[in-house]
């Protein structure tokens, strides 16, 4: 275990017995966890499969939040389930809707044991004309401290559980009326597609490959054809380059892969993405070339944040093309999204276009990602939950002798 990993708190896990005693929610459970929960209620072994399938259908295909809605489950069984479990989702503390229709939810996760205070995460929904993408968090905060990323400045970090990752999709579908028979919201914009959430990107808070098992199991729930039923091809996992986990991600998650490259030389990438000191560009690209299932139809996306005067020269663009030679790849240029206290500026539009032209002429698709939800700090790298900001402010206020009331007024008056 290295220093970077040491700082991550494991999500505290409850035993099945504790779960039953605490009336925990089954929303977000895997098939195994559902079977365990039923077993704990003394459901006979021979009925477990049938009962789990029933629950699975109601929870993940129909989106019910009450056991009483499960019409093909017997009344006594429904009563037993209600007595021990819930189907509650974590609380949505706030919903912000950007002028461009992007929605950002601040979600409060309940404490997971006596030593856990609970946590807050952000999930972002990005509607487009023909699709709706949910940007899902995998950790509270991130340990990796990329110098241009707001999330990396959050001090408290813990891994999310499988259920907490799945719950982000459940919350989004609740809010967007994205269940059979449910009504779409009348405010903001929701695409007129069959599914309001048609795609998932693991690009919210956190490094998904530092929380591998939970992310893998959550995506297993999400792609299950009898439930949420999203195709693996519509899931993109973005990593800052945890090289030893990339092959496993291909084998066990099977999603599309995005790599946060951002620089073409190790000296600069060491600065922007400090994980590069451990896994330099050469090793990262070798792992990409070996990514299982890689083909022209299944290309790797290389994300490249455009930082004015830092990584946006013509020479950088040419080197990028050289590095990716022969690899089925797309290059996604991301205009830098500023956040309070950030030390960089976004490259000029002209610079971004020149960079994109060089890449395009070399035969790579090089879309420039339109920043979405910038006005509500929902764009890439801007996520950082409010609790942390409030806490930081509270500290400053305390240090400067202002009491709690002053802090409250400042926090809400901005
Ligand atoms: N930790 C993972 C996934 C989350 S970040 C990763 O780093 O890949 C999602 C993307 O947003 C990454 O490519 C990240 O580098 C980028 N990003 C971070 N901060 C940004 C900012 N301020 N402006 C634009 N993109 C940013
Ligand atoms: Fe973490 Fe990704 Fe932000 Fe880097 S860019 S600090 S890896 S969330």
For residue 373, what are its two tokens?
A: 């939800």
Residues 72 and 177 in one domain: no
CB contact at 8 A, 324 and 332 = no
What span, in angstroms and rounded, lies between the C-alpha atoms of 8 and 19?
Answer: 23
Q: What is the pLDDT of residues 354-401, one digit of tens each?
A: 999 999 999 988 778 777 777 777 766 666 664 454 344 333 333 332
What's the total number of domains in the chain? 2
What domain range is 213 assigned to?
A: 91-390
Cα–Cα nearest to 164, from 200, 201, 139, 195: 139
Confidence of residue 22 (pLDDT cuts 50, 70, 90): low
Phi-psi region of 183 (alpha: psi -120 to 50; beta: other; left: phi over 0): beta
Asked whether residue 411 carries a pLDDT value surpassing 50, the answer given is no
209 close to ligand 1 (CB < 6 Angstrom) = no
CATH number for the domain harbouring residue 32: 1.10.150.530
Contacts of 331 (CB under 8 A, 6+ apart): 301, 302, 304, 320, 324, 359, 364, 365, 366
Residues 194 and 46 in one domain: no
Beta strands in 128-248 (DSSP E): 132-135, 139-140, 158-159, 199-202, 235-239
Residues 48 and 177 in one domain: no
Task: Select from 121, 206, 238, 269 the residue to mutate for testing ligand 1; criterion: most ligand atoms less than 8 Å from CB.
Answer: 238
CATH number for the domain harbouring residue 248: 3.20.20.70
Q: What is the pLDDT of residues 242-259, one digit of tens each?
A: 999 999 999 999 999 999
333 close to ligand 1 (CB < 6 Angstrom) = no
Residues 62 and 121 in one domain: no
Please check whether residue 10 lies inside any domain of the structure.
no
Mean pLDDT of 77-101: 93
What span, in angstroms and rounded, lies between the C-alpha atoms of 210 and 213?
Answer: 9
Residue minimizing CA distance to atom 25 of ligand 1: 380
Residues 189 and 115 in one domain: yes
Residues 310 and 380 in one domain: yes
Please check whether residue 15 lies inside any domain of the structure.
no
Residues 265 and 313 in one domain: yes
Q: What is the pLDDT of residues 142-171, one digit of tens each?
A: 999 999 998 878 777 899 999 999 999 999
211 close to ligand 1 (CB < 6 Angstrom) = no
Asked whether residue 306 carries a pLDDT value surpassing 70, the answer given is yes
Please state, rounded to an integer, the average pLDDT across all residues of the chain.
Answer: 86
Phi and psi angles of residue 168, each rounded to the nearest 5 degrees, phi first: -65, -35
The model's pTM is: 0.88
The pLDDT, as a whole number, for residue 394 is 37
Mean pLDDT of 410-414: 23
Task: Select from 5, 138, 142 the residue to mutate for testing ligand 2; criterion: most ligand atoms less than 8 Å from CB.
Answer: 142
Residues 67 and 194 in one domain: no
What span, in angstroms and rounded, lies between the C-alpha atoms of 155 and 247?
Answer: 30
């Amino acid at each position: 275990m290295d220093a970077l990993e040491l700082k991550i708190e494991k999500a505290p896990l409850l035993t099945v017995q504790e779960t039953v005693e605490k009336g925990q929610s089954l929303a977000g459970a895997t098939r195994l966890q559902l079977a365990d929960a039923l077993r704990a209620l003394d459901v006979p072994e021979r009925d477990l499969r049938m009962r789990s399938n029933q629950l699975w259908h109601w929870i993940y295909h129909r989106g019910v939040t009450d056991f009483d809605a499960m019409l093909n489950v017997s009344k006594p069984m429904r009563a037993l389930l209600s007595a021990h479990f819930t189907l509650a989702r974590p609380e949505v503390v706030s919903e912000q809707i950007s002028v461009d229709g992007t929605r950002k939810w601040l979600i409060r996760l309940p404490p997971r044991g006596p030593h856990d205070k609970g946590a807050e995460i952000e999930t972002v929904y990005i509607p487009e004309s023909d699709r709706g993408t949910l940007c899902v968090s995998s950790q509270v905060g991130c340990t990796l401290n990329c110098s241009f990323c707001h999330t990396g400045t959050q001090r408290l970090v813990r891994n999310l559980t499988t259920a907490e990752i799945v719950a982000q999709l459940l919350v989004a579908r609740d809010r967007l009326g994205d269940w059979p028979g449910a009504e779409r919201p009348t405010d903001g914009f929701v695409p007129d597609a069959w599914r309001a959430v048609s795609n998932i990107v693991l690009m919210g808070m956190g490094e998904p490959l530092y929380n591998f098992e939970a992310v893998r199991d959550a995506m297993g729930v999400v792609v299950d054809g009898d439930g949420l039923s999203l195709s693996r091809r519509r899931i993109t996992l973005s990593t800052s380059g945890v090289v030893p986990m990339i092959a496993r991600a291909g084998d066990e998650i099977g999603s599309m892969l995005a790599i946060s490259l951002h620089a073409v030389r190790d000296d600069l990438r060491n600065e922007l993405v400090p994980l590069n000191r451990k896994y330099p560009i050469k090793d990262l690209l070798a792992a990409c070339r070996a990514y299982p299932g890689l083909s022209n139809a299944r290309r790797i996306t290389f994300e490249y944040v455009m930082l004015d005067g830092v990584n946006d020269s013509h020479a950088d663009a040419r080197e990028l093309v050289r590095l990716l030679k022969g690899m089925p790849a797309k290059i996604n240029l991301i205009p830098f999204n500023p956040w309070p206290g950030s030390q960089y500026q976004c490259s000029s539009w002209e610079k971004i276009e020149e960079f994109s032209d060089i890449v395009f002429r070399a035969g790579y698709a090089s879309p420039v990602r339109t920043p979405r939800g910038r006005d509500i700090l929902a764009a890439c790298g801007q996520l950082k939950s409010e609790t942390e900001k409030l806490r930081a402010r509270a500290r400053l206020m305390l240090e400067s002798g202002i009491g709690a009331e002053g802090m409250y007024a400042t926090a809400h008056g901005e």
